[in-house]
Amino acid sequence: MQLLKFLPGAALLVPSVAFSQQPQHRQILQIVDQHAAHFSATSKTIWEYAELGYQETKSSALLRRELETAGFQVQSPVADEPTAFVATYGQGAPVIAILGEFDALPGLSQAASPDRSPITTGAPGHACGHNLLGSGAALAAVALKEYMQQNHVTGTLRYYGTPAEEGGDGKVYMLRAGLFRDVDVVLQWHPDSENIIENGGMLAMNSARFLFHGVAAHAAMAPERGRSALDAVMLMGSGIEFLREHIPSNSRIHYIITNGGAAPNIVPDTAELYLYARNPSLPVLGDVWNRILKIGQGAALMTETTLEVKDVGGTANVLPNDALAKVAQRNLEEVGGYRYTADEKHFAEELQKSLPPGGAGDLDSTALIQPLRPPDPNAAAASTDVGDVSWNFPTIGFETATFVPGVAAHTWQAAASAGMTIGHKGMIIAAKAIAITGADLFSDPQLVSAAKTDFQRQLKGRTYASVIPAGQTPPLDYRNK
C-alpha cells in the first residue's frame, strides 16, 4: 500500500494523514503488512470455494485453521450452525469483537476478469466480497493479537465466524445462543467501492415464504373443481403492488415466485411467493409486515386456498454509534486509501465499460477517505444481520474500496474485483483500520465507556426484538430451492 503525498482535486474528500501515526498504530500496521500476502491468498481460496450460506464448510474450516494456528482458541460449531465459530484470544475486560463473514451468492460465478466470464455458469460467486470480509477480519484479529501479546495488552479479543449473512441471518442465532454475552464493542467492515465509515443505516428487514395450498384439478377438463394456489400467489403479488403507494416510501418490498405450478394442464395445488420487506425503522417495518400478512390472507380468502407463512429470517437496521464513528473515521484517515498499479488501472477501466451510462466512479477515489456522513433514512440501502448485533452492543463499521469505483455489490463486477489485487488492497486497509481501532479500545477505557453511553442514547429507551420469531432454528437449507 502506497502512502499518498499529493492529492490534486480532493477538496471535498479527506486525504490520508499517514504522517500522524501514533507509534503503537505504526507497530500494528507493520504486523498487518507482514501477514497481508498470506491473508490475501486465504481470501482468494475462499473466493474459489464460493460456498453458499450455511454451506461454507471449507471456507469456515480454513479460517478456523488460520486463527488456531495464530493462537486463538476456537469453539465450533456453535448456535446449531455447522459453519459458525468463535475464536478467542486473551481474557478479561474489555471484550472486543471482530465479525467475519464468508458466504457467497447464488448464480454469480465470475472469473477475476473485467468482462462477464462465469467460471461455472449458474454457480455461486463472491459478488458481495465476503471472501475478503472474513479474511480481512481474520488478518485484523491476528495482527491485533500479535500486538497485544508483544505489548502485554490485557483484555479479550474475539473473532466471530458468522455464516449465511446473505439471507440466513447467522448472527441472530449466535446472539440468541448467548455467544456475544460479554462483548463490550463490536468492530466490523464490509467491501465497498469507496473508503468510508458506515455509522448505522441499512434497513431492517423481514422475509418469509408464502406457501399457498389449493386443490388440484385437470385444467382443461374440470378447472371449476380446482382451487388455484397460483391464483393466490398472483393476487398476493398484485396486492403487494397496490400496497406500495400506501406505506412510507423509504420502504422496500420485493418478491419472487419460487413455486408457480407443476404443469400447465394441472390447476396448481401449491404455489409459493418468497418476499422481503425493509424499512429503516423496525417499528415501521412491523406495521408494513402486518399489512403484508393481511394481503396474503386476503389472497387465500379470495381463492379458497390456505396460506402457510414460513418465516425465513430478518434483521434489524444498524444503529449508529457516534463515539465509535469519530475514532473510526480518524483511524481510517490515518490508514489512508491506495492507488492502482498500471495493470489494476487497466483492469478497472475495462471493467467500468460494462457499467451503465454515468455509472463509472472516479478511479482516483480509492486513494481518498470519504468524510463522515450523517445517516439518511431515505437513502437506498441493503440489510445485514450486523443490525441485530448493533442493537445489542456498540458497533461500528468500515467500508473500503475493494470494488472498482461505481461497481455495486451483488454484481459480477464485484465478484471479479473481489478475486484480484484490487480487492486485496481494499481488504488490507480495512484490516489495518480495524486493528488500530481495536488497539485504541484496549488501551482507552474511556473510549469503551463513551461507546456504551452513545449506544444507550441511540437506543432511546427502545428494546431490541428480532423480527425472527422466538424458537425458530437456523434455516440451514434456505439456499436449497
Which residues in 345-374 contact a second copy (CB under 8 A)? Answer: 356
Strand partners, 73: 88
Pick between residue 155 and residue 314 the one whose CB is nearest to a second copy.
314
| Contacts (CB under 8 A) with a second copy, residues 379-398 | 380-383
Q: Stretches 153-161, 265-273, 337-345, 431-439: which one binds a second copy (CB under 8 A)?
A: 265-273
Pick between residue 221 and residue 470 the one whose CB is nearest to a second copy.
221
Considering the complex, what minimum distance in angstroms separates the CB of residue 181 from a second copy? 31
Which of 275, 307, 441, 468 forms a contact with a second copy (CB under 8 A)? 275
Contact between 278 and a second copy by CB under 8 A: the answer reads: yes
| Contacts (CB under 8 A) with a second copy, residues 28-67 | none
| Contacts (CB under 8 A) with a second copy, residues 135-174 | 167
Which of 94, 100, 124, 226 forms a contact with a second copy (CB under 8 A)? 226
Q: How far apart are the C-alpha atoms of 268 and 213, rounded to whole Å? A: 9
Contact between 96 and a second copy by CB under 8 A: the answer reads: no
Position 20, amino acid: S
| Bridging pattern class, strands 395-401 and 185-192 | parallel
**Closest CA relative to residue 254, chosen from 206, 308, 202:** 206
C-alpha cell belonging to residue 358? 454515468
Pick between residue 16 and residue 193 the one whose CB is nearest to a second copy.
193
Q: Stretches 72-80, 150-158, 216-224, 433-441: which one binds a second copy (CB under 8 A)?
A: 216-224
Which of 11, 263, 342, 470 forms a contact with a second copy (CB under 8 A)? 263
Pick between residue 160 and residue 478 the one whose CB is nearest to a second copy.
478
- Is residue 114 exposed (0-12), middle (13-18) or buried (19+ Cβ within 10 Å)? buried
Calculate ∠ Cα 262-264-268, nearest 5°.
50
Residues in the chain, overall count? 481
Which of 71, 223, 283, 371 forms a contact with a second copy (CB under 8 A)? 223
Q: How far apart are the C-alpha atoms of 202 and 347, rounded to whole Å? A: 30
Largest CA distance in the chain: 82
Q: Stretches 11-19, 31-39, 248-256, 397-405: which one binds a second copy (CB under 8 A)?
A: 248-256
- Chain centroid to CA 230: how far? 33
Residue 320 near residue 425, CB atoms below 8 Å? no
Which of 234, 309, 372, 476 forms a contact with a second copy (CB under 8 A)? 234
Which residues, other chains included, contact 239 with Cβ-Cβ below 8 Å and sequence gap of 6+?
A: 295, 298, 299
Considering the complex, what minimum distance in angstroms separates the CB of residue 365 from a second copy? 19
Which residues, other chains included, contact 346 with Cβ-Cβ below 8 Å and sequence gap of 6+?
A: none
Pick between residue 261 and residue 336 the one whose CB is nearest to a second copy.
261
| Contacts (CB under 8 A) with a second copy, residues 393-452 | 408-411
Q: How far apart are the C-alpha atoms of 364 and 7, rounded to whole Å? A: 9
Q: How far apart are the C-alpha atoms of 67 and 47, rounded to whole Å? A: 18
Q: Stretches 17-25, 103-111, 318-326, 435-443: which one binds a second copy (CB under 8 A)?
A: 103-111
